[in-house]
């Protein structure tokens, strides 16, 4: 496992560079790249910057790391957000997440027994959640299933999410954290005792974890 934390002034620009580098690396090594997408406003700023000529998108297979249990066309849907910002412009393969058990079967078929995404995008909420693994959630301790129904918070109290082991198996995780509202929690997640916040499951990741943090969100970190 390798962990990097980088504080940047322009988070969308840094996230775009890191994402493109990770995807290009996977395509160069193995001819295709599986990517788990995240919802949230910070990842959205990355999707907004990606362009059709950035990559050979036909070699990219998109999945969702979590989704709100709403119709895909609903304004709360992560799929709809990523579709409108990125997916409708590119010729990638896209697998929307609409049902936990069938998505797990799809992931088992597409990712193989190792079950590792090449690149996984994640955000972190003000409460330390990541994907749709919220503090106190009963699915935080799930170790067998890959995708589960999960309680969320308003405005989307029902979600689907990949489980902690799936996140921990990903080869390259990019965690995008922006805004002053996350500074205190980020400090605890990175520097505090383990086991308090769902995002701390990333400390047990097998692959590489790259925290990209904007200046405001980094304000409470001792090591900046």
What's the rounded Cα separation, in Å, for the pair 119 and 2?
Answer: 14
Q: Rule CB under 6 A: is residue 130 a binding residue for ligand 6PG?
A: yes
Q: What is the largest CA-CA distance in the chain?
A: 44
- Contacting residues for 113 by C-beta, under 8 A, at least 6 apart: none
- Closest separation between CB of residue 124 and ligand 6PG, Å? 6
Shortest distance, position 224 Cβ to ligand 6PG, whole Å: 20
Q: Where are the beta strands (DSSP E) in the chain?
A: 2-8, 33-37, 60-64, 66-68, 93-94, 119-123, 147-151, 158-162, 172-177, 208-214
Out of 12, 96, 125, 128, which residue is the one contacting ligand 6PG (CB under 6 A)?
Answer: 125
Quote the least distance from Cβ 141 to ligand 6PG, whole Å: 18
Count of residues near ligand 6PG by CB under 6 A: 13
Q: How far is CA 73 from CA 68, 93, 95, 172, in A?
A: 11, 18, 15, 29
Which residue has tokens 């995240």? 38
Name which of 13 and 31 has its Cβ closer to ligand 6PG: 13
CB 61 within 8 A of CB 33: yes
Choose the binding region for ligand 6PG from 106-114, 120-128, 138-146, 167-175 (rule: CB under 6 A).
120-128
Query: What part of residues 11-70 is at the interface with ligand 6PG (CB under 6 A)?
Result: 38-42, 66
131 binds ligand 6PG (CB under 6 A): yes
Of 87-95, 108-116, 118-126, 143-151, the window that binds ligand 6PG (rule: CB under 6 A) is 118-126
Beta carbons within 10 angstroms of residue 138's beta carbon: 9
Comparison of 6 and 91: residue with beta carbon closer to ligand 6PG = 6
What is the per-residue binding string for ligand 6PG in 67-96, x denoting contact by CB under 6 A? -----------x------------------
Task: Please give the structure tokens belonging to residue 35.
Answer: 């990517």
Which residues contact ligand 6PG (rule: CB under 6 A)? 38-42, 66, 78, 123-125, 129-131
């Amino acid at each position: 496992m390798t962990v990097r934390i980088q504080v940047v002034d322009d988070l969308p620009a840094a996230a775009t560079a890191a994402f493109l580098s990770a995807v290009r690396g996977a395509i160069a090594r193995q001819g295709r790249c599986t990517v788990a997408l995240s919802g949230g406003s910070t990842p959205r700023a990355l999707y907004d910057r990606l362009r059709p000529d950035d990559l050979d998108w036909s070699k990219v297979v998109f999945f969702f790391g979590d989704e709100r249990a709403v119709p895909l066309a609903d304004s709360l849907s992560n799929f709809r957000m990523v579709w409108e910002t990125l997916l409708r412009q590119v010729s990638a393969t896209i697998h929307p997440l609409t049902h936990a058990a069938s998505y797990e079967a799809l992931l088992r078929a597409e990712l193989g027994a190792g079950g590792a995404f090449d690149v996984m995008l994640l955000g972190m909420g003000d409460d330390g959640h990541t994907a749709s693994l919220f503090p106190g959630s009963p699915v935080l301790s799930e170790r067998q299933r890959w995708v589960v129904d999960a309680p969320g918070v308003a405005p989307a109290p029902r979600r689907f999410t990949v489980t902690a082991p799936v996140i921990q198996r990903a080869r390259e995780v990019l965690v995008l954290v922006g805004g002053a509202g996350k500074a205190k929690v980020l400090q605890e997640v990175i520097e505090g005792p383990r086991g308090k916040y769902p995002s701390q499951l990333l400390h047990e990741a097998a692959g590489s974890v790259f925290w990209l943090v904007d200046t405001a969100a980094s304000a409470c970190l001792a090591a900046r």
